[in-house]
Amino acid sequence: MGVSSKIVAPISEEMRGFEAYFKQQIKSEIPLLTVITNYLIRRKGKQMRPMLVFLSARLNGDATEASYTAAALIELLHTATLIHDDVVDETYQRRGFFSINALWRSKIAVLVGDYYLSVGLGCALKNNQIEVLRIVSDAVKEMSEGELLQIEKSRQLNITEEIYYDVVRKKTATLIAACTKSGAYSVNAPQEQVDKMHEFGINLGIAFQIRDDLLDYEKKNLAGKPTGNDLKEKKITLPLIYVLNKADHKKKREILRTIKRHHKNERKIAPIVSMVIEEGGIEYARKKMIEYRDKALEILKTYPESEIRSALEELVYFTTSRKM
C-alpha cells in the first residue's frame, strides 16, 4: 500500500528539491561509496521522515534551507541506523531487496553507516543548524537507550505495559517527533508550536509502533499462520502483554518459559500467537493505537483547516492502517 497522492501533492516541490539536495550531500569520490549510495537511492522507501519534516514546516510556515538540512540529517541518520541494525541482526533482506551487509559484507556496511552519520552531522554544522542538530542528537541518544532497554527486558522477559511504552517512546517515537519538531523549528515557529509538533510526533510514533506490532500477528507464513517473528526474537509487545496481565501466575510462567526456551521453534510458539489473538490481545492493542492516533489528530485540529493539515491527517490514518 503506497502513500496517497493527497499526502505527497502539497509538498511535491519540496520533495523534488530534497531529492537533489540529498544526493548532493552524500556525493563521494570513492567509487565503492558511489555504487552503494546509488543502490540505496534506487530502493528508497516511502521517505516518510522527510515528508514529515516538510509537512510540519509547511503547517507552521514556508519551508526554508533549514527544513532541507533537517530532512537530510534525519534521513541520513535513519539510513545509517537501518544499515547498522541489519548488521547487528544479521538481516540479509529489507523491503524485498538485499541488505548492504548481504552484498558487501558487514565491515563495509558498518563503515557506510558511519559515513552517512558523519555526513549528516557535517550537513547540520555546515549550515549552522545547531538547534536542529541538538534535536536529532537527543533523538539518537533516546533511540540507543530504547534499543538497549528492549534487549535487557527481552533477556529478563519481565516487560510491563509501562516499560513497553517507555521502549516505544525512546526507540521509535522520538525520531518521528524529531521530524515534526525540527520541521516546525526550521521555519522559526513560536516555541509553543514547536513543542506542540513534538507532542504530535510522539503520539504518531507510538501509534506507528503499535501498528508495527499488530502487523507481526497479521503477517502469515507459507502455511497461512501468523509468523510470530517478534516472539522468535523474544520481543514481548503490547498484544502479548495484555494477555499476560490477564493470565494466572501458572499460565504466565508457562508462556514465558516457552518463549525463553523455545522462541526459535515456530511450532512451540504458534499456540501463544493463537492465544494472543483469541484472548483479545489484538483488539486491546488496536484500541490503544487508535487512542494515540486520535491524540495526534486532536493536536492537528488546533491548526486552521488547510491542504497541509489534511495531508498530515491523511498521513496519520495511513500510518495506522498500513499493511507493511
What confidence score (pLDDT) does residue 222 get?
40
What confidence score (pLDDT) does residue 40 get?
83
What confidence score (pLDDT) does residue 232 get?
77
Where b means 16+ CB within 10 Å and e means fewer, 70-105 reads bbbbbbbbbbbbbbbebbeeeeeebeeeebbbbebe
What confidence score (pLDDT) does residue 228 get?
61
What confidence score (pLDDT) does residue 253 get?
87
- All cell numbers assigned to 160: 510491563
What confidence score (pLDDT) does residue 58 get?
96
Domains and CATH numbers, the chain: 5-319 (1.10.600.10)
What confidence score (pLDDT) does residue 100 get?
82
Concatenated DSSP letters of 130-175: HHHHHHHHHHHHHHHHHHHHHHHHHHHT---HHHHHHHHIIIIIHH
CA within 13 Å, CB half, 172: 17
Stretches where the chain sits below pLDDT 50 are 1, 222-224
What confidence score (pLDDT) does residue 220 get?
59
What confidence score (pLDDT) does residue 224 get?
47
What CA–CA distance (Å, rounded) separates 145 from 149? 6
What confidence score (pLDDT) does residue 95 get?
67
Kindly state the DSSP code that residue 220 receives in the 8-state scheme. Answer: B
What confidence score (pLDDT) does residue 227 get?
57
